[in-house]
Amino acid sequence: MRIANFVATAAVGLLLACGRPQASQANNSQAANSASPAANAAATAIVAGARPLSKDQALKIMHERHEGMEDVGKNNKVLRRELTAASPDLAAVRAAAATIARHSAEAAHWFPAGTGPDVGKTGAKPEIWQKPQDFAAKLRDFQIAAQALNAAARAGDLNAIKARYGALGGTCKACHDNYRAEMKH
Amino acid sequence: MKNHETDWHIWSGIAILTLLLFRLMWGFVGSSTARFSSFVRGPRQVLGYLRGEWTGIGHNPLGALSVVALFLVTAIQVGLGLFNEDEDGLYAGPLASLVSPDTSEKIREIHEANFKILLGLIVLHIAAIIFYRLRGKHLIKPMITGRAAVDPVAEPFRPGRWWVALICLAVAFAISRWIVAGAPPFGT
């Protein structure tokens, strides 16, 4: 249902973006190296936004994003503790994996244009909106990896969970290396 | 810190841990001037040194304070680092899983604050070396070669034994390896 939601948002984003010369031009130029038209739409939906955000709206999204990312981090720590333990608590692993998967779906709405460091305190770098296609691809990798981990956690095979956990961490790093600034609380 | 540098950060820390463990042991069984008992002195001797009443070799009583401070603060820094993890939970010191995420978070804050203290001591240390050099006393060469022009009344220098150094190094490596594995019975 989350994915359907995400695709729907992406489609809406595409429709709206087509009405904007700049955005659709960007879409075309990036189409060459993208996986699918839906991916383009996703990129546009993630970073373009339907209409300019008010300051309050922007700050609200940024707050939600911050809290969400922090929660992903916390649950990631729980996962490492459990998965390096001699006898992992599968219930805890499942809860953490489900939470991260939920946040990963929410993340589709976390990066509209106008929620960068020029608006308020954030670790999100301006590069997100300068390279929307690449950013969206990396966000998508994160979402896929989070869903895969969640599925593995439900199935309950520890080796599969550990492999997917490792893969998930890779997607976090891949994005944070370029798009996340160091941030002091 | 950028993520791809964190692996280097952690392994540098482990390397420093190994050096600290070596130096700790060498401070008991090493060369005469390396032994803590030969240079760590109380305030009276420090004041005496400042009045020019010191004729020994190796670390002088004032420098000894610097040695102890640097050793302790570096040990604290490395020790805290072992339990540290980044806020994303992507990178962790080898012992981070032994403490709760909240504890690890607090440890990270102290790790960051303590680094500033360490930097201050390093600056002081280098400033002292330059100060002595300007006054005509070379400290670095004797440190490396073990040779220095000394006061004839000073006690003779007794070098450490190579095989003792080798044993200390092996033990330091073994302890570091054990910690990297996640300590007690290798993780929780």
- The string of pLDDT tens digits covering residues A110-133 is 999 999 999 999 999 999 999 999
Angle, vertex CA A17, rays to CA A15 and CA A20, nearest 5: 125
Burial degree of B107 (CB within 10 A; 0-12, 13-18, 19+): buried
Give the pLDDT confidence score for residue B141 in this predicted structure.
Answer: 87
More confident position, A14 or B62: B62
Q: What is the spatial distance between Cα A175 and Cα B55, in angstroms, rounded to a whole number?
A: 60
**Any CB–CB contact under 8 A between B101 and chain A?**
yes
Mean pLDDT of chain A: 81
Candidates 1.20.120.10, 1.10.260.40, 1.10.1740.110, 1.10.357.10; CATH matching A2-179: 1.20.120.10
Question: Do B182 and A172 lie within an 8 Å CB cutoff?
Answer: no
* Ranges of each domain in chain A: 2-179
Give the pLDDT confidence score for residue B188 in this predicted structure.
Answer: 54
Range B112-138 average pLDDT = 94
Give the pLDDT confidence score for residue B2 in this predicted structure.
Answer: 52
pLDDT at residue B115 tops 90 = yes
At position B20, the amino acid (one-letter code) is L
CB nearest to B101's CB, from A74, A85, A173: A74
- A159: CB partners within 8 A, 6+ apart: none
Lowest mean pLDDT among B29-38, B72-81, B136-145: B136-145
Give the pLDDT confidence score for residue B62 in this predicted structure.
Answer: 93
Is pTM beyond 0.90 here? no
Shortest CA gap B120–chain A (Å): 22
List CB contacts (< 8 A) between A169 and chain B: 90
Question: Do B188 and A85 lie within an 8 Å CB cutoff?
Answer: yes
pLDDT digits (tens, 9 = 90+) for A161-180: 999 999 999 999 999 989 99
Lowest mean pLDDT among A35-39, A45-49, B21-25, B79-83: A35-39
Nearest to B167 by CA among B16, B28, B2: B28
Lowest mean pLDDT among A6-20, B13-27, B160-174: A6-20
- Which of A81, A127, A168, A182 is the best residue to mutate to test the B interface, defined by the most B CB atoms within 10 Å of its own CB? A81
The whole-number mean pLDDT for each consecutive block of 10 residues of chain A, a chain of 185 residues, reads 47 42 41 51 62 88 96 95 91 98 96 92 94 95 97 96 96 93 71
